[in-house]
Structure 1
């Protein structure tokens, strides 16, 4: 079978399913971040007004309120890291023989998890990693827009939080239904069934070409099970081929989670005119909505532009260059502050930094996730996608740990 014989993705159904699955993986987490005001209000000492448009004075926060964003991020990322590690490195050795005896749709049930989802996308053309990343970007945008609507309506915080969680549950249900529809798609079946067989045939043909002319052995037709015909996959061998992409996506999210939202959410507006409402909407709009919109734009751009290429030195250079955003945000009007001077006090600086920060996060992370599985053989692409997801999660966890240090330095 060749790519020329591949069936069409009718109505872009597989693309849409991966988009919904990407949306489902991050929408619950984004709603938890969006409901920060509700959680911190529950941690506040004494009486507190549970309305969406209340502004809590940052100087009055207790230790639980001030550390909530850091702790919540760390508690969310560590379990994600552990389970993507299990999915990426252990399933090949521990579960392969067991799962080969089970029905295919049960075997791939782990694709609901983020790691396996990128693994499945790795078997398809590179463009099918983009809808996952784009769906994840839309999740943040939708959550931020919901926050702003709640603020504008003046809804009680507990009502808004309840609405967030119900919406997340509905989207998760939609993602599960979409996932079970995925194996029924002819386009997906073609690539998943040919994942191992194509590379196996290629290796045998290469061995025949090395033999003297007329001496190529005629191989008997054997009836092999899927497990016996599947080429051996070495996790560490694959990592040697994709380590640049893996470390790049890890570094991208280390920088992002290191400052967002732990540092960026504490930036205060310098425009405090009475009755203009900007003080209420500054963080929801300039931090959460702007970040998620530009992140989504960056992730989606890879559907039409994939520069620099997978072998270009510019990709890791641009990834490392994002380190500059750490001091830039720390020198904005973060309050309270004790050690560092405030250099970029005007709101415009913060907004410009946020645009560049979020767009580069989405674009570079999406590039890395698309390129990683394409740097290995076809039968190794699924494992390469799972490894990339592990390093993405590693970056999230390391960034969550560093966020404590970054905030304490200010």
Structure 2
């Protein structure tokens, strides 16, 4: 999760730096189109250099003794696992034969009686034993929470936040063509901080109800972006909602809060959700959480289009 946030921060920083390296475009459309070309070339040149650096780093990593040692150790573990798996049918056949030859009922005091008892339910990080219904409830609440978190984020960012323009009348580039890229940097920076900070929150997992409540409160606050200075991209359209937050500080502050809460709450959900199910089901639970995350992103993108169409005059 932290890597995704840092990747977004790198992209937004590259975008604003390449934009700052170019002169400000004039109102003339032809001049603007002419100046977009070097900006786009610089952006993709940085991306190409980044990929080239990753490729060189990969080959250099294979020359490091520490990496080669652990890579070979992992290969030995895989080979041992394959060897054990190939011998598993013989062990399974012996177990089946023993089961057929054993009596159906065992005395209560026999040694096998303790092995035949039902296993205890997994303990939560809080130390209490949860029933199956409570486990499913916590797991489902975590899935719904992560869906609402990313639904709220993608419903506003970047579709609506990219339309928020500065209300300051100035020739300074920050209040013109750099205002939106800077808001992207603020969001991605705070999102990265939230994702990294979630790792320092401790091993104590919040309950599903706590995470779901936080996600619902956050979602209820998302429409606050609609009351900023939203300027539709089409020149003939206007925004039907009045501007209540005229200062440029508000959209930047809202972006920071949205990014921080998105990174922190989203990472907490993805980290702690598998702890509320049986260890044998944790891999499946991770897949379900990823599906909930993707569903939230998809629904958020659809909501952005719907809101934009409805609120444009």
Structure 2 length normalisation: TM-score? 0.67
Aligned: 1:354 with 2:255: yes
Task: Give CA-to-partner distance per residue, 1:215-237, whole Å, 9 cap, x none.
Answer: 41699xxxxxxxxxxxxxxxxxx
Return closer, same or farther for 1:218/1:254 CA change in 2, 3 Å cut-off.
closer
Of stretches 388-397 and 301-310 in structure 1, the one that deviates more from structure 2 is: 301-310
Of stretches 393-402 and 379-388 in structure 1, the one that deviates more from structure 2 is: 379-388
1:159 deviation in Å? 0.6
Aligned: 1:319 with 2:201: no
Equivalent-residue separation in structure 1 for 2:142 and 2:56 (angstroms): 31
SS in 1 for 2:242: coil
In the other structure, the counterpart of 2:27 is none
Aligned: 1:381 with 2:282: yes
In the other structure, the counterpart of 1:406 is 307
Match of 1:332 among 228, 232, 240: 228
Task: Give CA-to-partner distance per residue, 1:52-89, whole Å, 9 cap, x none.
Answer: xxxxxxxxxxxxxxxxxxxxxxxxxxxxxxxxxxxxxx
Equivalent-residue separation in structure 1 for 2:301 and 2:260 (angstroms): 20
Of stretches 361-370 and 299-308 in structure 1, the one that deviates more from structure 2 is: 299-308
**1:7-406 correspondence runs (5 A):** 133-154=1-22, 156-167=38-49, 169-170=51-52, 212-216=108-112, 242-275=139-172, 277-285=174-182, 287-306=183-202, 309-311=205-207, 313-336=209-232, 337-406=238-307
Equivalent-residue separation in structure 2 for 1:183 and 1:374 (angstroms): 29
1:349 deviation in Å? 1.0
State the superposition RMSD in angstroms: 3.4
Return closer, same or farther for 1:306/1:367 CA change in 2, 3 Å cut-off.
farther
Equivalent-residue separation in structure 2 for 1:176 and 1:316 (angstroms): 41
SS in 1 for 2:199: coil
Asked if the contact 2:14–2:43 (Cα under 8 Å) also holds between the matched residues in 1, the reply is no
1:326 deviation in Å? 2.7
Equivalent-residue separation in structure 1 for 2:211 and 2:286 (angstroms): 18
Structure 1 residues without counterparts, runs of 5 or longer? 1-132, 194-209, 220-237
Structure 2 residues without counterparts, runs of 5 or longer? 23-36, 62-66, 82-105, 116-134, 233-237
Equivalent-residue separation in structure 1 for 2:5 and 2:270 (angstroms): 14
Return closer, same or farther for 1:274/1:326 CA change in 2, 3 Å cut-off.
same
Of stretches 395-404 and 375-384 in structure 1, the one that deviates more from structure 2 is: 375-384
Return closer, same or farther for 1:318/1:278 CA change in 2, 3 Å cut-off.
same
Task: Give CA-to-partner distance per residue, 1:273-321, whole Å, 9 cap, x none.
Answer: 1245432221111x21000000000000111115983325322111111
1:160 deviation in Å? 2.6
1:242 deviation in Å? 1.6
Asked if the contact 1:340–1:409 (Cα under 8 Å) also holds between the matched residues in 2, the reply is no
1:369 deviation in Å? 0.1
Asked if the contact 1:308–1:315 (Cα under 8 Å) also holds between the matched residues in 2, the reply is no
Structure 1 length normalisation: TM-score? 0.52
Equivalent-residue separation in structure 2 for 1:349 and 1:322 (angstroms): 17
SS in 1 for 2:112: coil
Return closer, same or farther for 1:174/1:369 CA change in 2, 3 Å cut-off.
farther
Equivalent-residue separation in structure 1 for 2:299 and 2:305 (angstroms): 11
